[in-house]
């Protein structure tokens, strides 16, 4: 039987991608788990593994093809017994797909038995695993193309209690129709305005389209408000210098941003009601401090997430942040490494920006915009004038999730920890 290999959804938000590179060719034998292709999403380049075993009958989408819709056929895999006669037909019949995206089927659980005599479509590996485990394939619903049973279905069915009652999943509710959002001037209108001027037209890639859509959504749907504080960094700078001398032999150098990450992680624990995200018709309060940090990359930005940041040492956070940033710039992050978190940090201080207001990255409840540390005249504790290194911070807050007093309490903890940095070691 010929099996259509479909464009996978490599992240929850992926609708289309670029088939960057094939790692197999027509006629190759394919094993389950073998890497078939490299696929570019709007954020990363990821490897795509085979689920079934067989012979590659046809590659339907050429390398470098962009805009391939999720669940569109990209190749045909043949079972060994079908290879001799099915490959030409499959290659001829299968179009280069542009099918509309559909919902990706979840891993199946056992359901009521199929009618007697009905053929069961399953991959060779799934059949072998089922035989080893004594599993009746007629009682398993497949999640592969056209309901085909694959390895994951067998493994999931094996894990499910045999006598457990089957409850049909409620059909997903279609999202409520949204009023059309204003899109601004059309491309044709704008280009006519500049018809007599010299310009270079830059087409939008997947990353820029996603950034544009998400930030437009954020500013149109999230009720932002802003809280501003200044932090005196002199104690932190001295503390950082002392720590870096002790860490020099290990090749570790802490940045000011590492301290900011740690301070925010601490504040999310100290003010747990601020550790929250907006979930459409409810608020989710998170227990861990999962802090996202904006990283500029060519053509856009990533927000890799440092999970359980409150439980990690400064040196561990520093090493993890360097690794995530390096892989973000080469687009090698997995989706779980840049999705999630409840809170984000955007630091433009290293570029000399004194202060700014950041846009919240949904579904986060807040984002901290960090400016440059500058020498400024200040009033010292004894009432005399002096000079201190002062850094401006602006907390952008989703008012649906966090109220003003709560946001102020959170920001106060961040400031207190940064001005008394030894608390980060406790």
Domains and CATH numbers, the chain: 2-93 (2.40.50.100), 207-425 (3.30.559.10)
Q: How far apart are CA 69 and CA 72, in angstroms?
A: 5
The answer to pTM > 0.75 is no
Return the higher-pLDDT residue of 164 and 355: 355
Euclidean distance between CA atoms 77 and 27, whole angstroms: 9
Locate all alpha helices (DSSP H) within 115-205, ordered by sequence: 124-133, 151-159, 187-193
Confidence of residue 183 (pLDDT cuts 50, 70, 90): low
Query: Residue 99: pLDDT above 50?
Result: no
The reported pLDDT for the residue numbered 48 is 87
* Sign of the dihedral defined by the CA atoms of residues 156, 158, 164, 167, in that order: positive
Percent of the chain exceeding pLDDT 70 equals 82
Cis peptide bond upstream of 363, omega within 30? yes
pLDDT-based confidence at 108, cuts 50/70/90?
very low
- Among 6-10, 85-89, 137-141, 314-318, the minimum mean pLDDT is found in 85-89
Write down the mean pLDDT value for the chain.
83
pLDDT digits (tens, 9 = 90+) for 398-423: 999 999 999 999 999 999 999 999 98
Out of 21-35, 136-150, 339-353, pick the least confident: 136-150
- Given a cut of 60, whether residue 275 has pLDDT beyond it is yes
Residue 295 has pLDDT above 90, yes or no: yes
- Per-residue confidence (pLDDT) for residue 164, from 0 to 100: 42
Contact 55, 30 (CB under 8 A): yes
At residue 278 the predicted structure's pLDDT band, cuts being 50, 70 and 90, is: very high
What's residue 160's pLDDT?
Answer: 47
2 versus 281: the higher-pLDDT residue is 281
399 is an active site residue: yes
Catalytic member of 146, 224, 266, 399: 399
Per-residue pLDDT tens for 152-179?
Answer: 778 777 544 444 444 444 444 444 444 4
């Amino acid at each position: 039987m010929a099996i259509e290999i479909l464009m996978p959804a490599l992240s929850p938000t992926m609708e289309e991608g670029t088939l960057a590179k094939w790692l197999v060719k027509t006629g190759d034998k394919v094993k389950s788990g073998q890497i078939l292709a490299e696929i570019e999403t709007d954020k990363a380049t990821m490897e795509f593994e085979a689920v079934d075993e067989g012979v590659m009958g046809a590659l339907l989408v050429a390398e470098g093809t962009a805009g391939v819709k999720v669940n569109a056929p990209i190749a045909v895999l043949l079972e060994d017994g079908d290879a001799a006669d099915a490959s030409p037909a499959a290659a001829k019949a299968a179009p280069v797909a542009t099918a509309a995206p559909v919902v990706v089927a979840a891993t199946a659980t056992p359901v009521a038995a199929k009618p007697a005599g009905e053929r069961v479509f399953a991959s060779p590996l799934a059949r072998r695993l089922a035989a080893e485990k004594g599993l009746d394939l007629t009682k398993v619903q497949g999640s592969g193309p056209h309901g085909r049973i694959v390895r994951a279905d067998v493994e999931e069915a094996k894990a499910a209690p045999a006598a457990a009652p089957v409850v049909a999943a409620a059909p997903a509710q279609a999202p409520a129709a949204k009023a059309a959002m204003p899109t601004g001037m059309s491309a044709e209108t704008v280009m006519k305005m500049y018809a007599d001027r010299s310009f270079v037209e830059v087409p939008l890639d997947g990353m820029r389209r996603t950034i544009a859509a998400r930030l437009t959504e954020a500013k149109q749907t999230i009720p932002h408000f802003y809280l501003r504080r200044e932090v005196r960094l002199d104690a932190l700078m001295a503390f950082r210098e002392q720590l870096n001398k002790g860490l020099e032999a290990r090749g570790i150098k802490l940045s000011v941003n590492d301290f900011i990450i740690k301070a925010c992680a601490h504040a999310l624990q100290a003010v747990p009601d601020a550790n929250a995200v907006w979930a459409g018709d409810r608020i989710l309060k998170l227990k861990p401090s999962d802090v996202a940090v904006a990283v500029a990359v060519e053509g856009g930005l990533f927000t890799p997430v440092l999970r359980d940041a409150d439980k990690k040492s400064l040196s561990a956070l520093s090493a993890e942040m360097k690794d995530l940033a390096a892989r973000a710039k080469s687009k090698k992050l997995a989706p779980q490494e840049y999705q999630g978190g409840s809170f984000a940090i955007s630091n433009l201080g290293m570029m000399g920006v004194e202060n700014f207001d950041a846009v919240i990255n949904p579904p986060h409840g807040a984002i901290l915009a960090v400016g440059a540390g500058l020498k400024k005249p200040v009033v010292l504790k004894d009432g005399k004038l002096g000079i201190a290194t002062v850094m401006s911070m602006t907390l952008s807050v989703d008012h649906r999730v966090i109220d003003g007093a709560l946001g102020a309490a959170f920001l106060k903890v961040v400031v207190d920890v940064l001005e008394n940095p030894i608390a980060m070691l406790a």
